[in-house]
Structure 1
Amino acid sequence: MSLTAAEAEIAAETKRTDEDLDHASSDRDSIGEHGIEELHAGGGGDLEKTATLTRTESEAYSVFTVAQKWWIVTLIAVASFFSPLSATIYFPALSSLSKQLHVTTELINLTITSYMIFQAIAPTFFGELADGLGRRPVYIILFTIYLGANIALALQRSYAALLVLRMLQSTGSSGVIALANGVVADISHAGERGMYMGIVNIGAMTGPAIGPIVGGILDHELGWWWIFWLLVIMAGTFLTIVILVFPETGRKVVGNGSIPAQGINKSVLQLMRGQPKEQQQQCQTERFQRPPLRFPNPLVSVMLLFQKDMAIVLFTNSIFYTAFYTVMASLPTVYAEIYGFNPLQVGLCYIPLGVGSALSGVVTGKIIDRDYRIVAKQCGITMNRRKGDDMSKFPIERARLRSIFWMAGVYVAVLICYGWVLHSLAAPLVLTFIVGAFGTGLFTILSSLIVDLYPTKPSSATACNNLVRCLMGAGGTAVIESMLNAMGRGWCFTFVGLVCLLMSPILLVERRHGMKWRLARLERERRS
């Protein structure tokens, strides 16, 4: 098959870079996509010596079976559901809390702002911690914090306590967002990662739609405090499941899953089953050396912003995300003004958004994996479905961005139309479904690319993504009401759509030059 001009350029750039990287190729081939990470950790070769492995196990990217991968992904998708759920389930209770605590609506709204700030910052601490300590211990820490915060929120009856505890609640719930994509990167190589990323995003994107419905029912029927008691029940149940059965997946801790977990990284189920005799003997002589525990440095995540390829993807993803949240945040006010809906009725109007997001998670995952296969075929690369492919020779930027432009076009068109059809209820409900579907699709594609750009630090990269998009999303939701008042509904969402349209072409730069930038960055890291 003949290459296009773009393909020829990619091939030429890859060849030039390969000449600089030849001396590291044997290490990279033996340890796959995470080889550079293990070399940087100072123990890439030692990891495989710490367990009794068959040849097949040592060559596999992950020894987890397909069934085990789906079980793990289902758990982390549920975990990702908690942060957005906790943010929006609280909205219907704002009036009740204002009256009971005898404070103004402005002060109650401050608890939303503080939640979003901590939602942005917390993952930068826990992302780096999870990349070194392991995923399982950090999940336990975060859900313990979250559980305690919800118990206190259900019992508190003062504004000061509400403000502080909402920050603590956000810290516990939002930290898991960075962990989810890290787990996906642990157990799946780039060629199969799309479907799993899509499933994880179902949890993250349906939470905002379901939260207002549940919160409205609980506040109306039982009282606002039952919102937090429900979260206590849910968090307690999930934490128990994590402690009992969730396995460690961190590649710095268990490699490709073949190295036996130790201490808190081992689940109760693994403790009950015991360790095979040959692994016990091996571990007595050559134990895995955990990296020294240190206080997490949030700057590790923040510094990723200054990489050219990462900055482009983060900024564009944040623009799309902010547009999504302007639709969602303005919905209660707009629908109440036009149709006179009460909080419960407004909550029900989020259902199309949630359904669109859920369906998109599955469909987009398939599209991502299909695009990977198409680009591999076009470049003459035979996919290695067991070990994963050598990303130094694969244009992952081109594969991930293959379908994003037509999806962005639909997304922009729907945003522009949305503001002009709000007076007919059926039309905006249909459009919010499309916003949910294509918005989630865009987020899934770009989130997958972010993990691909930093496979050695997937949780830190995701934390950086979360920091940028949450801060921009908070800014968007803060000004949307003023924009609606000043510009009118139609021109307001036309402006939002046009901003997305103007920013989308930046991704063409990433598609054209991203591979060159990525390989140059990896070479600098290898030499440092």
Structure 2
Amino acid sequence: MATQGEIEKSSAGTEAVEPVLNSSKNEEVDPYLVTWNGENDPEHPYNWSLVRKWSITILLSNGGLVTLMSGVMLAPALPSISADLQTGEEETQIFLSIYVLAFAFGPMVLSPLAEVFGRRPVWILSSCFYILWNTVAGFSRTPGLMIASRVLSGIGASAEFSISNPVLSDCWIPSQRGVSFAISTFIPLLGPAIGPIIGGAVSQSIGWRWTFWILSIYDGFLVAIALFVFKETYGVLILNEKASKLRKSTGNPYYTQWHGASEKLSDRLSRSLTRPIRLLITQPILQVVAIFLAYNFGMLYLVLSTFATLWIDRYGQTQTQSGLNYIALVIGYTIASQVGSRIMDRLWAYLKAKAGNDTAPEYRVPLMIPGAILIPLGLLIYGWTAEKHVHWVVPDIGIAILGCGIINNTQSLQAYVMDAYRDYVASASAASQFLRSIAGFAFPIFAPAMYQSLGYGWGNSVLALTFVVIGWPAPFLLWRYGATLRAMGSKKGL
């Protein structure tokens, strides 16, 4: 149960998206200002039952699973797709990576819409849009239709990046954020691991087209569940709707601290739709986080896009056997998400107590340190053991270590953004993820050429060295200068 003390301020002085729960003072000043009915208001998502909050969290996590599975599930089937559509290696690789490019642009529109119309309708309609175009991709007979349908399905699927983090911020108090992350990030990141396993088995048995149709069927099942389970979580919208009902029933000018009684929808839309790009341009801390996330995500997709090829070409495995190696990623993700999320909560509580009950987004940063060590270590083990054709279990150990590091860094950076921009979690998350999605598209395109020229050993050594240059200073930069960078970004007029 949330208490007023749980609705904290960030060190930059920004209130949480929910107003102060005890609103008696506001009501004395202005009886038409709509706020929560005390700290135990049952309408506040913080005070919902654990069953309801976990149901929504797990539902959206499964939506994220579909999103990331769809990105890499066809990787083992690329040779079959190339043969059927008569495309070369580079063009075929675009079928895989163009989907990820849509993740950069989809949230820049969907996140503001979620701040105007709510999380629920945006997620449901976007999922239906994904189902439509992902199904069309399975019927593609030309490269053009395949590329177009992959882009459009990617835009629909990108709702996961627009909605999931904001919903976590809506429902879970900061001290529970690590626990919620344990599920919300773990399930989606199983997608890049189990997607190729299923994709290899499906494409080899019943054909590559079913790699699309199976995901469409599963996402349709999730949408059906959402109609009954997914209740709107956005506190701003809940209060705005309450004020609107009071205006209609009484004729009095009820309003909220965000929207006046006479504010037009067009004004709200025009302000909201430009917010992600304004945040990215005006907030130095978001620019720094975006660069860190970009290299993490791009490097992960570079490795994943060539992982199946390694086992098929160098180790002589079948498509199905090559997919099984992705289980190593599952193991790495599981360890990192379950252990790291709990460490995050404990560190946050410890640092909060040490600071006299004050909080700051920087309390999420320490978890990045093990991630910064594990990522280059995993790259080097994976690359050089694959280069020397060592027994398959050793490259898999390297990829598991890499997965651990990626999860630790991702969890820390996402939690940092959520704490730093609680008023605009959806837009801030979209802004921070814009560059990473572009990197996820671009990196796999040059992956085959890099490994052909340098081999797996030196190729991964270049990636590891680049990460050391970019990633090792990251936690120290955020810890030491994070508050300064956040203060440099004006939030006026957002």
Which TM-score bucket, shorter chain as reference? 0.7 to 0.9
- 1:177 and 2:142 aligned: no
1:203 shift after superposition: 2.6
Deviation at 1:364, TM superposition (A): 1.8
Identity of aligned residues (%): 24
Question: Do the aligned partners of residues 455 and 104 (structure 1) sit closer, same or farther apart at CA in structure 2, a change above 3 Å counting?
Answer: same
Among 318, 327, 330, the alignment partner of 2:303 is 327
Higher mean C-alpha displacement, 290-299 vs 417-426:
290-299
Q: String of CA shifts for 1:212-266, please: whole Å, max 9, x gaps.
A: 11111111111222222212211211111111221001122115xx97699xxxx
Does the 8 A contact of 1:316 with 1:507 survive in 2?
A: no
Counterpart in 1 of 2:279? 304
Distance 1:83 1:215 in 2: 14
Is the CA contact (8 Å cut-off) linking 2:380 and 2:398 kept in structure 1? no
C-alpha separation between the residues in 1 aligned to 2:235 and 2:65?
24
Measured at CA, do residues 93 and 487 of structure 1 come closer, stay the same or move farther in structure 2, by a change above 3 Å? Answer: closer
Instruction: Give the counterpart of 1:478 among 445, 453, 459.
Output: 445
Per the normalisation by structure 2, the TM-score is 0.85
In structure 2, the CA distance between the partners of 1:379 and 1:432, relative to structure 1 (3 Å rule), is same
Q: Shift of the alpha carbon at 1:469?
A: 0.8
1:203 — aligned with what?
187
Q: Is contact 2:34–2:243 with CA below 8 Å preserved after alignment? A: no
Cα distance change, pair 202–155 in 1 and its aligned pair in 2 (3 A): same
Instruction: Determine the structure 1 residue equivalent to 2:4.
Output: none
Q: Which residue of 2 aligns with 1:395?
A: 360
Looking at structure 2, the residues matched to 104 and 420 of structure 1 have their Cα atoms a distance apart, in angstroms, of 28
Equivalent in the alignment of 2:98: 114
Question: What SS class does the counterpart of residue 323 from structure 2 fall into?
Answer: helix
Specify the alignment match of 1:213 in structure 2. Answer: 197
Question: 1:186-265 alignment to 2 at 5 Å?
Answer: 186-255=170-239
Partner of 1:292: 265
Q: Assess if the C-alpha contact under 8 Å between 2:71 and 2:97 holds in 1.
A: no
Deviation for aligned residue 1:103 = 3.8
Change (3 A) 1:140 1:475: same
Listed one character per residue, the Cα deviations across residues 287-343 of structure 1 (whole Å, up to 9, x for unaligned) are 776971536876422333332222222212222222323322221222223211222
Mapped partners of 2:349, 2:32: distance in 1 = 30
Q: In the alignment, does 2:388 pair up with 1:412?
A: no
CA distance in 2, matches of 1:119, 1:52: 35
Farther off after superposition, 166-175 or 285-294: 285-294
The equivalent residue for 1:9 is: none
Q: CA 1:440–1:450 in 2, change beyond 3 Å: closer, same or farther?
A: same
Question: 2:94 & 2:43 partners in 1: Cα distance?
Answer: 52
Alignment partner of 1:509 is 2:477: yes
Contact 1:321 1:473 in 2 (8 A): yes
Aligned partner letter, 1:94? L
Deviation at 1:135? Answer: 0.3
Task: Give the TM-score, by structure 1 length.
Answer: 0.79
Does residue 351 of the first structure (1) align with residue 331 of the second (2)? no
Distance 1:508 1:283, change over 3 A: farther
- Deviation readout 1:348-393 (Å, 9 max, x if unpaired): 1111112321332222211111111010121121xxxxxxxxxxx5
| CA distance in structure 2 between the partners assigned to 1:93 and 1:471 by the alignment | 23
Distance across 1 between alignment mates of 2:227 and 2:336 = 31
Whether contact under 8 Å (2:76, 2:200) holds in the other structure is yes
Cα distance in 1 for partners of 2:30, 2:162 equals: 27
Q: CA separation of 1:123/1:513 partners in 2, compared to 1, >3 Å: closer, same or farther?
A: same
Once the two structures are overlaid, the 10-residue window that deviates more, 494-503 or 404-413, is 404-413
Distance in 1, Cα, partners of 2:370 & 2:297: 17
1:525 aligns with 2:491: yes
1:497 to 456, 464, 472: 464
SS of 2:37 mapped into structure 1: coil
Three-state SS of the structure 1 residue aligned to 2:158 is helix
Unpaired segments ≥5 residues, structure 2: 1-9, 21-26, 256-260
Counterpart residue number, 1:95: 79
- Partner SS for 2:40: helix
Q: Distance in 2 between matches of 1:261 and 1:419?
A: 59
The secondary structure found in structure 2 opposite 1:421 is helix
Deviations 1:453-508 (A, max 9, x none): 21111111221232211212322222222222222322221221121111221332
| Contact residue 176 and residue 345 of structure 2 kept, 8 A | yes
Contact 1:51 1:259 in 2 (8 A): no
In 2, the alpha carbon distance for the partners of 1:335 and 1:359 equals: 24
Which amino acid is 2:361 matched to?
A: I
Letter in 2 for 1:329: S
Preserved contact between residue 79 and residue 176 of structure 1 (Cα < 8 Å): yes
Q: Distance in 1 between matches of 2:367 and 2:210?
A: 43
- Closer, same or farther in 2 for the Cα pair 1:485/1:104, shift >3 Å? closer
**1:129 matched residue in structure 2:** 113
Write the distance in 2 (CA, Å) between the matches of 1:96 and 1:59: 52
Could you tell me which residue of structure 2 aligns to residue 462 of structure 1? Answer: 429
CA contact (8 A) 1:91 1:212 kept: yes
Count of residue pairs the alignment pairs up: 463
CA contact (8 A) 1:115 1:166 kept: yes
DSSP-derived class of the 1:138 partner: helix
Tell me, yes or no, if the aligned pair for 2:72 and 2:305 is still in contact at 8 Å.
no
Structure 1 residues 163-172 or 93-102, which shifts more?
93-102
**Relative to 1, partners in 2 of residues 1:298 and 1:98: Cα closer, same or farther, differing over 3 Å?**
farther
CA–CA distance in structure 1, aligned partners of residues 154 and 160 of structure 2:
10
State the AA in 1 paired with 2:275: V
The structure-2 alpha-carbon separation of the partners of 1:247 and 1:420, relative to structure 1 and needing over 3 Å to count, comes to same
Matched-pair contact (CA < 8 Å) for 1:48–1:58: no
